[in-house]
Amino acid sequence: MRGRDFENAGETSAEVTAILKDLEIDPDIILRVGVVTFEAEMNVVMYADKGTVTFILTDDEIAVEVADEGPGIPDIDLAMQPGYSTASDEMREMGFGYGLGLPNIKKNSDAFVLASEVGKGTKLHSSIRLDGNG
């Protein structure tokens, strides 16, 4: 994923949800994975220079790991507050940047870890249990 590439943002989540549908994973789980991945993709595109997303599917869960190179997040607690955003008007015109992305990711995750180093980048780990009993 590349920063500012708004045109292709969302393709990764479209691809992974299509794969999970082929694997006949529960649609509710696919929805949650889709929301997590789409929001994380948009965060990379909006704020970072570039990033990678890794999916790990086991018998019990699907993990989504997103690592980016970018400015990092100075205050993670603040960034997690619904409505808090540092997005520009341009980002909001794309339909994102309203301070809901990270809360959406956390809400849809059974386990959620966000770590960031200012000036270097951010790593996000989200895992979703396949039995829906997180």
Considering the rule CB under 8 A, would residue 38 count as an interface residue with another protein? yes
Does 92 engage in binding with another protein (CB under 8 A)?
A: yes
**Which residue in the set 63, 94, 114, 130 belongs to the binding site for another protein (CB under 8 A)?**
94
Q: How many degrees, rounded to 5, is the angle at CA 15 between CA 122 and CA 132? A: 75
In this structure, which amino acid lies at residue 53?
Answer: V
Find the radius of gyration of the CA atoms of the chain: 14
Question: Distance between alpha carbon 25 and the CA centroid of its chain, in Å?
Answer: 19
Where in 54-73 is the site for another protein (CB under 8 A)?
none
Burial of 117 (0-12, 13-18, 19+ CB in 10 A): exposed
22, 77, 89, 95: which one binds another protein (CB under 8 A) = 95
Residue 17 is a binding residue for another protein (CB under 8 A): yes
Q: Judged by CB under 8 A, does residue 80 bind another protein?
A: no
Which residue lies nearer to another protein by CB, 92 or 120? 92
